[in-house]
Structure 1
Amino acid sequence: MNAVPHVVIVGGGFAGLWATRALASAKVRITLLDRGNHHLFQPLLYQVATAGLSAPDIAAPLRHILRGQRNVTVLMGEATVIDKTARRVQLASGDALEYDALMVCTGATHAYFGHDEWAPHAPGLKTLDDALAIRRRVLTAFERAEAERDPARRAALLTFAVVGGGPTGVELAGTLAEIARHTLRKEFRNIDPGSARVLLLEAGPRVLATFPEALSAKAAKQLARLGVEVRTGVPVSSIDAQGFVLGDQRVEACTVLWAAGVAASPLARSLDVPLDRAGRVAVEPDLTLPGHPEIFIAGDLATVKWGERLVPGVAPAAKQMGSYVARVLRARFANQPAPPPFGYKDYGNLATIGRRAAVVDLHGWHFSGYFAWVFWLVAHVFFLIGFRNRVVVLLDWAMAYWTYQRNARIVLGKDTMSR
């Protein structure tokens, strides 16, 4: 290795940022590469999509976060190919980065289970661009319904479907119901926003399948109280610009949102190693690529064993992987013994359903309702990056609680909804 080893970290998400910061005092030269210029707090992305928060409230520029870390260079760019033999990362710009150690943590994208033609009609939620597009689609549906004279078309405009009953789907569906029944109340003259239908579609037997059954049942009841129609046990078989097919039933809906499946970043294909069905890489116990100890895979891109299960694709797991990779590199560059294999610490699961409604699973300690909702709020504010973001989010949520208003309801960009 060089006198000052060059560590290239591809991806500025939780894994990449935590690894970078953990190497702050290490004698290494770090290049952090990301397609965007910001770190995104993905657990609150649905709040931007539903006009509860603005984009800067849950994101911060990577350069600003790392401004005091002198051993880091931040580059905005996209990695296209990883040459393992030459130890080089090829960029879309035509440039290349040579490395002594490489960490790949480029996250996940949407997976439509072989039906990529559904993507234009059922957008997913992974980036700020996705969130702003969904916000535009949701708010535009109400605006279009206000001007629509055909009752059938108006009903379709006021029908919202969320495909996927995991935490993101549950949070989206619950918030959409609140927007229709509370936020937009008395603001329209030709329509009653409260008459909007919100459907949550889950192919499995219950929503929040990773939670205990009792909490799943409570979540379903809380969704029903908000006015969400929960449909389980039947997969969606078709989605187009006008609606979807559930089993043998056709439903006209102008807004369908996708929260059902994810696939690992396509960059993993350039590693020329076996991938699982979701496109993830099976790694060694120290998170290295088999046969290449200089390459680390972390976050949603890695398949990591956790007892009889796999480490879930959640933010705490990505943070732990990032910190662990930094420990391995520190030991390696200092010629010290390597740390023990990566071990995931599960801190539990949280999901919010709506106003004063959430479910919490903390190592056998289960609770729901108002206190679970408060716990969810505190946890998410605490883990936000930056003091300013914590204050702004807390103030916005306080105002929303007392007034039911969502202050980010500005429609930006072109209306692409099918007419």
Structure 2
Amino acid sequence: MTDRAADTPAEPAGQRASRPRVVVIGAGFGGLSTVQSLHGAPVDITLVDQRNHHLFQPLLYQVATAGLSPADIAAPIRAITRHDRNVEVLLGEATGIDVARRLVSVLDTAVRTVPYDILVVATGARHSYFGHEEWARFAPGLKTVEDATLIRRRILLAVERAETETDAEEYRRLLTFVVGGAGPTGVEMAGAISELVRGIAASDFRRVSPKSARIVLVEAGPRPLAAFPPDLAAYAGRALQNLGVEIRLGTAVTGIDAGGVQLGTERIEARTVIWAAGVQASKAAEWLGAAHDRAGRVKVTDHLTLPDHPEIYVIGDTALALDTNGRPVPDLAPAAKEAGQYVGRSIRAGLRGRAAKPFRYRHYGDLATIGRNRAIIEFGRLHIRGFLAWVLWGIAHIFFLIGFRNRVVVMVDWLWSYVWFRGNARLITNVERHDQDEPGQDGIGLAENAE
């Protein structure tokens, strides 16, 4: 995603008045790719998002574990689209869609309605606690910058508290970190937490022992990284164990509170719990009155549209799209980008009076990292693991980052961290200390403000 070389030439007002109105909800990979694919097209675009920045979610765990700062993996939406003169950015939260009247309700300072001729819904997904929403208070997931900075704060505060803790049980509780879910996010988080906590304990703290840190990865399924081939998943498991991560397979979380996690009849006392076990699509299916699966993903045609509404596209984590083998398109950033680019081509074809070919997803492979020097990559039959996979993983992620500055900063930070094994973003921010130190939402007795 790069800046445009030159501004789009201005068009006469009469032409603009007669152009189709395209509303895109969501400035993630899918929505932003749609907008960029329509650069210079004879349409007027309104891009709606409740945040003012596009976020590179695959590297959020690096922010959560103090490897990167939020600005390294995010960029203002207005800056990205500044050369697209046919694009209006609207900061607000989409709250509903009137399909019959072709209106989107948006809440900013007040509720307003935005008309559309063509609608692109790319509202992503949120955390799913499988009916236990009360767990969210104690086990944040990882979808936003706010999530990442909250998790970073909890991890760092736990180690800080352990430095002065005199009670042995509380000391162990503070240095125990539980990650629920062994998909790519959970595996990456567990490995990064182990390296962070043990690394800073060895170098920066005087009383916290690296050996005291306990990182537990809990997975209800039979193996970690279920979407990967068994040989790569097995390598990832061994790599995690070499980092000192305990892996509990075939074990479901049955309870979470401020003091720890319940695994059936077993109790793990922990002040820091992170949720990476499930996602739920946005409320788009409810807004559209559309058929959906159990995760709330809208069932779309092979043109990524609603069956009875060809003017409405649904893409990314919000959509249940099928590949040529009848399998769901994975909820991955490259897949969302492909879908967004397809929608842009489809809209352009429609403007010329032509019908676009059906969407065909091209899967280029899966990647996951397990701490520094260790990663796994699947490119079809080609399986890569270890240091080479880690280098390729880093190159792939840097390539997808927005803007030249972001790529350079991330590369320099990673090289610095690799050589000196030191993170540059270990900041604890927005913490209020109360007179009574009671365990609360932060799990360690410190109330936190939103960052």
TM-score by length of 1: 0.98
Partners of 2:264 and 2:326 in 1: CA distance: 33
Out of 71, 86, 102, the position equivalent to 1:71 is 86
Deviates more, 1:379-388 or 1:409-418: 409-418
Q: What are the superposed Cα offsets for residues 73-108 of structure 1, whole Å, 9 maximum, x if unpaired?
A: 111111101000110001122111000000000100
For 1:188, the aligned partner's letter is: F
1:291 corresponds to which residue?
A: 308
2:38 corresponds to which residue?
A: 23
- Partner SS, residue 366 of structure 1: strand
Partners of 1:339 and 1:243 in 2: CA distance: 52
1:246 corresponds to which residue?
A: 263
2:339 aligned with 1:321, yes or no? yes
2:153 corresponds to which residue?
A: 136
Assess if the C-alpha contact under 8 Å between 1:31 and 1:74 holds in 2.
yes
Deviates more, 1:273-282 or 1:11-20: 273-282
1:276 corresponds to which residue?
A: 293
Partners of 2:327 and 2:167 in 1: CA distance: 51
Out of 141, 160, 169, the position equivalent to 2:186 is 169
2:352 aligned with 1:365, yes or no? no
2:126 aligned with 1:109, yes or no? yes
Report the Cα offset of residue 270 of structure 1: 1.3
Out of 99, 106, 119, the position equivalent to 1:91 is 106
Partners of 1:25 and 1:62 in 2: CA distance: 18
Deviates more, 1:190-199 or 1:39-48: 190-199
1:43 corresponds to which residue?
A: 58
2:320 aligned with 1:303, yes or no? yes
- Partner SS, residue 310 of structure 1: coil
Partners of 1:224 and 1:247 in 2: CA distance: 23
Unaligned runs of 5+ in 2: 1-15, 433-441, 446-451
Partners of 1:344 and 1:409 in 2: CA distance: 39
**5 Å matches for 1:146-295?**
146-295=163-312
For 1:73, the aligned partner's letter is: E
Report the Cα offset of residue 275 of structure 1: 2.0
- For these two proteins, the number of residue pairs brought into alignment is 418
Out of 369, 375, 382, the position equivalent to 2:392 is 375
Assess if the C-alpha contact under 8 Å between 2:31 and 2:122 holds in 1.
yes
Partners of 1:275 and 1:147 in 2: CA distance: 51
Q: What are the superposed Cα offsets for residues 31-60 of structure 1, whole Å, 9 maximum, x if unpaired?
A: 001010111111101000111000010000
Partners of 1:262 and 1:372 in 2: CA distance: 27
Assess if the C-alpha contact under 8 Å between 1:7 and 1:31 holds in 2.
yes
Assess if the C-alpha contact under 8 Å between 2:158 and 2:444 holds in 1.
no
Partners of 1:132 and 1:268 in 2: CA distance: 30
2:438 corresponds to which residue?
A: none
2:71 aligned with 1:56, yes or no? yes
Assess if the C-alpha contact under 8 Å between 1:180 and 1:194 holds in 2.
no
Partners of 2:296 and 2:17 in 1: CA distance: 33
- Partner SS, residue 111 of structure 2: coil
User: Aligned Cα RMSD in Å?
Assistant: 1.2
- Partner SS, residue 245 of structure 1: strand
2:443 aligned with 1:417, yes or no? yes
Deviates more, 1:190-199 or 1:121-130: 190-199
Partners of 1:209 and 1:295 in 2: CA distance: 33
2:365 aligned with 1:348, yes or no? yes
Report the Cα offset of residue 18 of structure 1: 0.5
Partners of 1:189 and 1:121 in 2: CA distance: 29
- Partner SS, residue 397 of structure 2: helix
Q: What are the superposed Cα offsets for residues 279-335 of structure 1, whole Å, 9 maximum, x if unpaired?
A: 110001101112111111000000011213100000011001001111111111121
- Partner SS, residue 7 of structure 1: strand
Partners of 1:340 and 1:183 in 2: CA distance: 54
- Partner SS, residue 335 of structure 1: coil
Q: What are the superposed Cα offsets for residues 165-207 of structure 1, whole Å, 9 maximum, x if unpaired?
A: 0000000000011012223323222221442000111100000
Assess if the C-alpha contact under 8 Å between 2:159 and 2:174 holds in 1.
yes
Deviates more, 1:5-14 or 1:179-188: 179-188
Partners of 1:215 and 1:192 in 2: CA distance: 32
- Partner SS, residue 73 of structure 1: strand
Report the Cα offset of residue 248 of structure 1: 1.6
Report the Cα offset of residue 2 of structure 1: 6.9
For 2:350, the aligned partner's letter is: R
- Partner SS, residue 278 of structure 1: coil
